Structure 1
Amino acid sequence: MLYKVPMKNIWSSRFDINKDPIHHIYIHNTEMIKEFVNNFSNITDLIFAETFDVSRESIITNLNRFIQLKQFTKLNFECHRFPFEQIIELLHFTKNIHTLKLDSILLYRTNSILIQQNETFRIVFNMNFVTNVTISKEITLEKIQLLTTLFPRMKYLTINLFKEVLKPVVRFLLSKSNINTRYLSTLCISKQRYDLVIKLRSMIKLEKLLHDYIIKVINRKLYLWW
């Protein structure tokens, strides 16, 4: 864990930064990275803390000075203030990411259609290898559509749903005509509600969305495999 308080630089004491190889870094701001620039050669996981200070400046400008962004394979945004446009920009330079965790999909003064028209979005769409995505906060159908468009190779998806959007979201994800979800085979719904399994089974059967599938509740999370 790397963060800064007035007059003091703090590095987690769980390991010796000079002796132990570091494979993941948990940061509260980018200013502290430059203090340990030579110790980041083995990092594969980058975690933006819940209290991360999101600057108006491009985060790429700061990170790229001190870390080889292409070495990352996992990105975790615990910070809920991260605009989705900045996440896309970061993915543009982290071409080997396969696992992505987001607190939420935050659209500032824009919508999903405008974001998809951006050239950076198109580049990330073509080159990314993201297969595992988790969204912690409740998500809408519009944001699910944006997510699957950007990550058409996605296989595993974990989301949190409002009950009223269950049917349109599941219908979209399981649609046979949706080419952006053709690789998707596992759906996890966190914070599982009491009647969700019954509703999901009934919907799949009534609309003939799947033939072979398994539904299980594990640790209060609903898993659907097909």
Structure 2
Amino acid sequence: MSKTTFQYRCKYIVLPNIHRILSIHLSNLLLIDYFFTSCTFDYLFTRLESFTLNNVKSENLISILTNLAFLPRLFSLNVTCIDKIRSRSFIYYLIISLPVLKYCQLYIDIWNEDFDYLIPNNRYSSLEYLTIGTKCSLNELCELLLYTPQLKRLSCTLSASNNSLSEISQIPVCLNTIHLQLEDISFDEFQWLISSFSLQLQVLSVSTQGDIEFLDAHRWQQFISCQMPILKKFYFQYQTMISGLLVTPEYYYDLMKEFTSSFWHEKQWFFTYQHYKSNDGDSWITFYSTKPYRWSRYDFHEVINQHHETGINLADEVNFYNYQTLTQYPIQFTQTTRLNFSQGDITQNPLFISDLTHLFCPSKITELIISNEKFRFEHLLLLLHQFPNIQFLTIPQNILYLSLPQTETNRLIINKNKIMKVTILNQCTLEDIQILLRWCPNLRSLDIEVQKENLQLVIYYLLSRNTKQIHRNRLPLSLDFKNISFWKQEYNDCISCRNKKNLNSSIFSIPCNHHLSLLCCRNINYKMIEKFRIMINKEKLLNDYAIEYLDEDMYLWW
């Protein structure tokens, strides 16, 4: 959303209706800054129940959370920090102090993994659902549990404690659902934690790697039978790299086979595994629950051995490291919204992209991430054709090349798309950006890295918003951009302008970026910020804008 549009909505929609607003979702660090300087966030938001902050700066977080204490009906809070914070201790203190909060999701990284114990709080939290999306220690979690007696569902990523483990003196009596991502946690440490409230558990989800004790089916069976009498759902995932001659793949096969006994079948808990080779040649085994698959991510690798798997897969994200034939693949990904193409040679299977529609619901895919530099522009266009609702796109710079030059009889056909945000992974040029703007007419946000000597020219081009400025500074349409020839008729108006006039538009019209309002330039020297500010003001490129420098990145919003 542009700065002008947001200012208008704040003034004429938000402020007059403060007492009627039920939910607020903010996802731009500069937009968040403006919102809290223009709106007094206090008890006047009498009906606000849900508040989401994505990409908030850590330096602003404490003041924001302090103001939230005035809200009488804030039941849900979702916070994602764009940068790291020194300690989460005071953040936890402020969240615990929110009077009626029931649901909380936190994604806040810290610089130092040593945990500072919570500031003593005389009150207990009303939290019932807590998700900590970034890594926390066992001691950190134990401290939090002391102040959340009404907690029903917990989800977090756990790491081993540097200090000795402290006993959990107060157990949330309603805690019945736990989802754990374990890092460097042994089975003994895990069992110590879960035993504190295992008698009340109904749902347990565990993802881990490393400690082979987690593949001991008999130990799991005894633990569940003796200490989890009412456990109804159990989801398990274990991953390990096979190295050396001491532990062979067959040894792991035998361990995993023990999870097919009558105990597991009677409870309708089923498992399968993949033995695959990564692109660097290492051999891995992943053992996981199925029917259905409930982990957020699923990977396609070059499989060495795989136990039969069928049914529904509920993964949010699917990653491709191999492009084998998918036509007969017996799994349906019904909830996937993000596709990630990481490695592998897509040219080995030209029909791979067309096969994807057999696995996914095309209308649900909204994000596409391509880090594989073997992809080319025609592959990308085919993916966009197969999945027409893509809004978020991440690509390498070299994808803007075609595999083969075009001919007069083999012209490139580009369909309309809904892409609103693009991230280019490596350094790009003005030429790359011009190509991008030609086939992304709805682009609102751009994240790029440009060589220092070309950066000022690129920013000048992007901010030259009116047609005359763009016409003066653009490259001639007669040029071939990296083998992509633009033969379409040249117009004086951009696509957006022509659509407003109800004229026949062309995808190769002048790339006027009317919708673009947020620019992130990575790896910038802070001294460049003032130069850009002077250029913008001197050339009168923008009337109203905000600029921010954070962790070597520049953010510009207008």
TM-score scaled to structure 2, two decimals? 0.35
Contiguous gaps of at least 5 residues in structure 1: none
> Who is 1:141 aligned against?
430
> Who is 2:346 aligned against?
54
Match of 2:292 among 15, 18, 29: 18
Cα 1:43–1:37 shift into 2, 3 Å = farther
Tell me, yes or no, if the aligned pair for 1:3 and 1:27 is still in contact at 8 Å: no
Matching of residues 27-38 of structure 1 within 5 Å = 27-31=320-324, 33=326, 37-38=330-331
| Structure-2 separation of matches of 1:13 and 1:219 | 38
Cα 1:222–1:4 shift into 2, 3 Å = same
- The answer to whether 1:220 aligns with 2:552 is yes
Question: Would you identify which runs of 4 or more consecutive aligned residues in structure 1 move more than 6 Å?
Answer: none
| Structure-2 separation of matches of 1:214 and 1:187 | 11
| Structure-1 separation of matches of 2:424 and 2:335 | 26
| Structure-1 separation of matches of 2:385 and 2:367 | 14
SS of residue paired to 1:168? helix
Match of 1:5 among 277, 285, 294: 277
| Structure-2 separation of matches of 1:134 and 1:153 | 14
> Who is 1:161 aligned against?
450
Tell me, yes or no, if the aligned pair for 1:3 and 1:29 is still in contact at 8 Å: no
> Who is 1:80 aligned against?
373
Tell me, yes or no, if the aligned pair for 1:47 and 1:75 is still in contact at 8 Å: yes
- The answer to whether 1:97 aligns with 2:390 is yes
CA RMSD of aligned residues (A): 3.0
Tell me, yes or no, if the aligned pair for 2:371 and 2:396 is still in contact at 8 Å: yes
Deviation of the 1:225 alpha carbon: 0.4
Tell me, yes or no, if the aligned pair for 1:83 and 1:108 is still in contact at 8 Å: yes
Name which structure has the greater RCO, CA cutoff 8 Å, separation 6+: 1
> Who is 2:464 aligned against?
175
Question: What one-letter code is carried by the residue in structure 2 that aligns with 1:200?
Answer: F
Deviation of the 1:38 alpha carbon: 2.2
| Structure-2 separation of matches of 1:213 and 1:119 | 37
| Structure-2 separation of matches of 1:4 and 1:26 | 14
| Structure-1 separation of matches of 2:290 and 2:378 | 36
Deviation of the 1:201 alpha carbon: 1.1
Tell me, yes or no, if the aligned pair for 2:333 and 2:360 is still in contact at 8 Å: yes
SS of residue paired to 1:91? helix
| Structure-2 separation of matches of 1:223 and 1:3 | 43
Question: What one-letter code is carried by the residue in structure 2 that aligns with 1:188?
Answer: C
Identity %: 27
Q: Which moved more, 1:19-28 or 1:174-183?
A: 174-183
> Who is 1:130 aligned against?
419
SS of residue paired to 1:197? helix
Cα 1:120–1:197 shift into 2, 3 Å = same
Cα 1:16–1:193 shift into 2, 3 Å = farther
Cα 1:12–1:146 shift into 2, 3 Å = farther
Tell me, yes or no, if the aligned pair for 2:354 and 2:386 is still in contact at 8 Å: no
- The answer to whether 1:188 aligns with 2:477 is no
| Structure-1 separation of matches of 2:402 and 2:289 | 38
Cα 1:16–1:219 shift into 2, 3 Å = farther
Q: Which moved more, 1:136-145 or 1:24-33?
A: 24-33
Tell me, yes or no, if the aligned pair for 2:366 and 2:392 is still in contact at 8 Å: yes
Cα 1:34–1:145 shift into 2, 3 Å = same
TM-score scaled to structure 1, two decimals? 0.82
Question: What one-letter code is carried by the residue in structure 2 that aligns with 1:54?
Answer: I
Deviation of the 1:33 alpha carbon: 5.0
